[in-house]
Structure 1
């Protein structure tokens, strides 16, 4: 069945574009260069379209994305052509990488031309440069479609053994060697620098069209790198240098406020960190212990309200003032106590029953804090009005609410809170990694995989599940303290199961599943995307959640294990592919023996 399908695909493929491989490679290289060069032409007559695409000789706005896509397409075309020094860019020998980059360049170029036509009122607003860009973006796609499909005769994967024999017989052509340790560390530093640049560019996009084009380019670029095998190589390198990677990642994150000239977008950054930290705490409950918690955002609310009550707010019913670190510990302990109180009577339930109970707890918390207003209940939380006028945090005499200068850079209020929240994120990451690698973490994983078998092996399931529930709640309480001070007030509305603005329980759970359950970086990346995308797609108005939902459906269809998945989950979701691979290997061995 599989062989017949591949043969049919190959026949159709050759019938559509029957061109030689050499010609196809030339089209990819030349087409990528032409696509990049077209970004230096004017695409419209008027500067009314954002980015001012009327200038010849210099890209602007969305043209920079077309330029980047064209350059990457040409470079990968040269790598596929066998240019010395570029073979490492496509270790898998995949023609799909070149096709994805070419399609990404075509998509962002035609999206820009379409946006110009729609917003300015027709194709008449395109100049000759715009038409040249649209046609040039087609050339590398045509070339990439002319390459053989992986697995058919003449493709890169089928030529692997022949290429290796050719290398061995020609000493002038040497296979790629393992890199020394210092080179791998430099690669990690370069990747982190590129990641910081991409995040900064994405968060600084000033209009919706630029952000959509940025998403298109990043999605196709990341997909191409995955197809080329570069992401697997990077994972292996980071696994060999975990400490360097962790330190470098936090150093890159700490450098983000210094890339901003104002606090306009730093506020998004600190909210992303809060959302990501809470998602990582939920990952202990869902990703490691396998407990479906639909009311987890309530623990964030417990930490926020507790910190507001003990931080000297004018409307606080307790009228006490704790130092910032004591307020943080108080919020974390209060959330942990609530986790124990809720988990003790409910964690003997499993599956859907546990999910329903946690969903009920989340709603009970929101309704309770709304009623503790002194009218329908005791005056504790201020009811629907919440607790306003929460003072800023003072760390060692430094008021985080005021701007400060450091090394010639001015750090505003949100930059200060970003760095404080980054400290809490580092603590949460440390707790998560130490817990997951310990005996407790192995017990959680055993319960997640099969609780009955874990109980039979002597694991106290209830005790370990209660520990996961309490620890996850305590980590959420830490983030709640920063959120309360940064927002100046705490109100009950955000702490619900679902809503248009994160964080809420549905978005937190989606961040864990989307990023990759059971990993450290997965929920951080997933939370960053889930917060950043809605914040930047506000121009879609009523269609914002529709577009967001479609994107999630597509991602879960093509990447069900998450963006950054553990090896275990990759094998679970692609278990059906393993027998095919084994059969192919066995067939090769049988043929060799014959």
Structure 2
């Protein structure tokens, strides 16, 4: 809150009504930090002791001196909490961990350790039949993590002052801890050092992503989500990600190269072909979401039937792929099949968009939703009975042969640098090439004159038209481009899955990609950005794939996640500056109200009302 205070010359100056928040646990600052350090160290030590007496619980937590399974996650979280807590002592070499200068990372990482350890203890008790199955190591880590949370809550954190209560409550403090600070100005580093930091950041991201996909049982994946969620938020709150973002913006070409190299390395980190297949499907889902981001994120067109364009590309490629069940009976080379799928989707985008894009808002959403359902029903009816025999109806087009590019058969494993690259790894690398093409197209489009016109139409189409922008033509261009990119990904999806069926292309279903999940990936990740839809699509595909026991409650959890996102992070996980200014306090003074100041002047202003 910011108010204007009168000065001797009659003017008003802005003054921030901020005050150090009273700790939730009344402890001296030094004692609170010491307790946090001791609790984190205790939780870390407990991971080297046995947590249960039997290996029936997955991960073999019976070994002393060698952490395994969920113990490793507790160890990592405890070590991170310990480092954040020690950085507050001003120890030389640790100050770089918290450039934001805040204790909130300590609170968040300590909560993550408590959540992971508590979940593990509860899972052991539930699966093995009671708390009696817990060995001393589990109790040591559990008590240590609880002590660390108590100490962390005793650390003072500056909060916006609340006029009603005089200090923020626990919920307000937790919400404030989720807001990334503005880190202090960093010292200039040599270019080679900055490039090494970027490479290390992407290397760490690759390791975390590969570890999450490689989790072999659901209990470990749930613990991974808890640790990664709180750890990522803590690192963001510390200001480290803002520092890294500044470096990536400075070295944009190096950043793109590092991201591409890290993505190439992924299939070489997976020994299980099933996990590599998840990575390939994530790239397909993410590429289609990025294409939808052109339509929704840049042009602001709400398309609820976008998955139909993916289906058009997949069906077109399947019909010309040489499948024995194809009604056309032709076998195009790969490049021709790709062009056929992309061109078919482009034509459908123009045909559907030309008569409908004069509509706006909810009306456009209803029409596109209808198109998605019409496509699925039409593919179902082209079975030789209800219509011409083109798509084999509900049976779809099966037995799609594997691709062969320059004599390289993607369906066979190949030895690359001493590592066997499986079929899924081959298609992952092919889809990565397509993703790079889509990213390049999106980036060039967004930074062009056409991209700026799309943003103007998204913000206010009437004003954009008054400024001379041909809204209909540009909206049709966005619609056609988005459809073409979806068709491009559909050609690879048809070969990865061996078959295409109408049920794969619904508005909502238990298995992505579908229109609802594609739209959610764009909104969750951040509309109008490149990395946002990629991250959103990865999360929305990976979580259902790893937690199949929650399939019955998937839509319920999906809706709850969207409501929480709209409440606490409406701009998405990765937001551009425009969205941040739109949804959050900018710190600028508002128009003064009519409350008089002591000298008779008016000028109470509120920040970011």
Q: How far apart are 1:577 and its partner, in Å?
A: 5.5
Q: How far apart are 1:517 and its partner, in Å?
A: 0.3
1:498 corresponds to 2:508: yes
Q: How far apart are 1:546 and its partner, in Å?
A: 2.9
Q: Which residue of 2 aligns with 1:517?
A: 527
Q: Which residue of 1 aligns with 2:139?
A: 131
Q: How far apart are 1:10 and its partner, in Å?
A: 3.8
CA 1:578–1:112: 2 relative to 1, 3 Å = farther
Report the 3-state secondary structure (helix = DSSP H, G, I; strand = E; otherwise coil) of the residue aligned with 1:410. strand
Q: Which residue of 2 aligns with 1:540?
A: 550
- In 1, the alpha carbon distance for the partners of 2:367 and 2:482 equals 17
Deviations 1:349-397 (A, max 9, x none): 0000000000000000000010001111011111110111111110001
1:561 corresponds to 2:571: yes
Q: Which residue of 1 aligns with 2:380?
A: 370
1:358 corresponds to 2:403: no
Q: Which residue of 2 aligns with 1:222?
A: 232
- In 2, the alpha carbon distance for the partners of 1:41 and 1:550 equals 37
Q: Please say if residues 278 and 508 of structure 1, whose CA atoms lie closer than 8 Å, have aligned partners that are also in contact.
A: yes
Q: How far apart are 1:287 and its partner, in Å?
A: 0.1
Deviations 1:561-588 (A, max 9, x none): 11111011011011476448x99xxxxx
Report the 3-state secondary structure (helix = DSSP H, G, I; strand = E; otherwise coil) of the residue aligned with 2:503. coil
Q: How far apart are 1:527 and its partner, in Å?
A: 0.2
Alignment of 1:17-166 (within 5 A): 17-151=25-159
CA 1:567–1:7: 2 relative to 1, 3 Å = closer
Deviations 1:403-452 (A, max 9, x none): 11111011111111000000000000000000000001000000000000
Q: Please say if residues 74 and 116 of structure 2, whose CA atoms lie closer than 8 Å, have aligned partners that are also in contact.
A: yes
Q: Please say if residues 534 and 548 of structure 1, whose CA atoms lie closer than 8 Å, have aligned partners that are also in contact.
A: no
Q: How far apart are 1:544 and its partner, in Å?
A: 3.6
- In 2, the alpha carbon distance for the partners of 1:459 and 1:534 equals 42
Q: Please say if residues 303 and 478 of structure 1, whose CA atoms lie closer than 8 Å, have aligned partners that are also in contact.
A: yes
Q: Please say if residues 95 and 150 of structure 1, whose CA atoms lie closer than 8 Å, have aligned partners that are also in contact.
A: no
- In 2, the alpha carbon distance for the partners of 1:128 and 1:552 equals 40
Q: How far apart are 1:557 and its partner, in Å?
A: 2.0
Q: Which residue of 2 aligns with 1:451?
A: 461
- In 2, the alpha carbon distance for the partners of 1:465 and 1:253 equals 33
- In 2, the alpha carbon distance for the partners of 1:307 and 1:348 equals 31
Q: Which residue of 2 aligns with 1:307?
A: 317
Deviations 1:47-93 (A, max 9, x none): 11111111111111000000000000010111122112211211111
Q: Which residue of 2 aligns with 1:591?
A: none
Deviations 1:211-236 (A, max 9, x none): 01000001101111121111211111
1:320 corresponds to 2:330: yes
- In 1, the alpha carbon distance for the partners of 2:49 and 2:559 equals 36
- In 2, the alpha carbon distance for the partners of 1:177 and 1:346 equals 54
Q: How far apart are 1:504 and its partner, in Å?
A: 0.1
What count of residue pairs does the alignment treat as equivalent?
A: 561
Alignment of 1:415-430 (within 5 A): 415-430=425-440
Q: How far apart are 1:261 and its partner, in Å?
A: 1.5
Deviations 1:241-267 (A, max 9, x none): 111111111111111111112312111
Q: How far apart are 1:140 and its partner, in Å?
A: 1.4
Deviations 1:117-165 (A, max 9, x none): 1111111111122111111111211111111121489x9xxxxxxxxxx
Pick which of 94-103 and 546-555 moved more: 546-555
Alignment of 1:158-557 (within 5 A): 177-557=187-567
CA 1:206–1:380: 2 relative to 1, 3 Å = same
Report the 3-state secondary structure (helix = DSSP H, G, I; strand = E; otherwise coil) of the residue aligned with 1:355. helix
- In 1, the alpha carbon distance for the partners of 2:319 and 2:285 equals 22
Q: Which residue of 2 aligns with 1:573?
A: 583
Q: Please say if residues 18 and 158 of structure 2, whose CA atoms lie closer than 8 Å, have aligned partners that are also in contact.
A: no
Unaligned runs of 5+ in 2: 4-15, 162-166, 168-183, 594-609
- In 1, the alpha carbon distance for the partners of 2:448 and 2:388 equals 43
Q: Please say if residues 88 and 176 of structure 1, whose CA atoms lie closer than 8 Å, have aligned partners that are also in contact.
A: no
- In 2, the alpha carbon distance for the partners of 1:441 and 1:542 equals 41
Q: Please say if residues 295 and 497 of structure 1, whose CA atoms lie closer than 8 Å, have aligned partners that are also in contact.
A: yes
Q: Please say if residues 309 and 487 of structure 2, whose CA atoms lie closer than 8 Å, have aligned partners that are also in contact.
A: yes
Unaligned runs of 5+ in 1: 156-173, 584-594
Q: Please say if residues 515 and 525 of structure 1, whose CA atoms lie closer than 8 Å, have aligned partners that are also in contact.
A: yes
Q: How far apart are 1:18 and its partner, in Å?
A: 2.4
CA 1:575–1:341: 2 relative to 1, 3 Å = farther
Report the 3-state secondary structure (helix = DSSP H, G, I; strand = E; otherwise coil) of the residue aligned with 1:264. helix
CA 1:549–1:137: 2 relative to 1, 3 Å = same
Q: Please say if residues 304 and 366 of structure 2, whose CA atoms lie closer than 8 Å, have aligned partners that are also in contact.
A: yes
CA 1:244–1:211: 2 relative to 1, 3 Å = same
Report the 3-state secondary structure (helix = DSSP H, G, I; strand = E; otherwise coil) of the residue aligned with 1:265. helix
Bigger helix fraction: 1
CA 1:507–1:176: 2 relative to 1, 3 Å = closer
Q: Which residue of 2 aligns with 1:158?
A: none
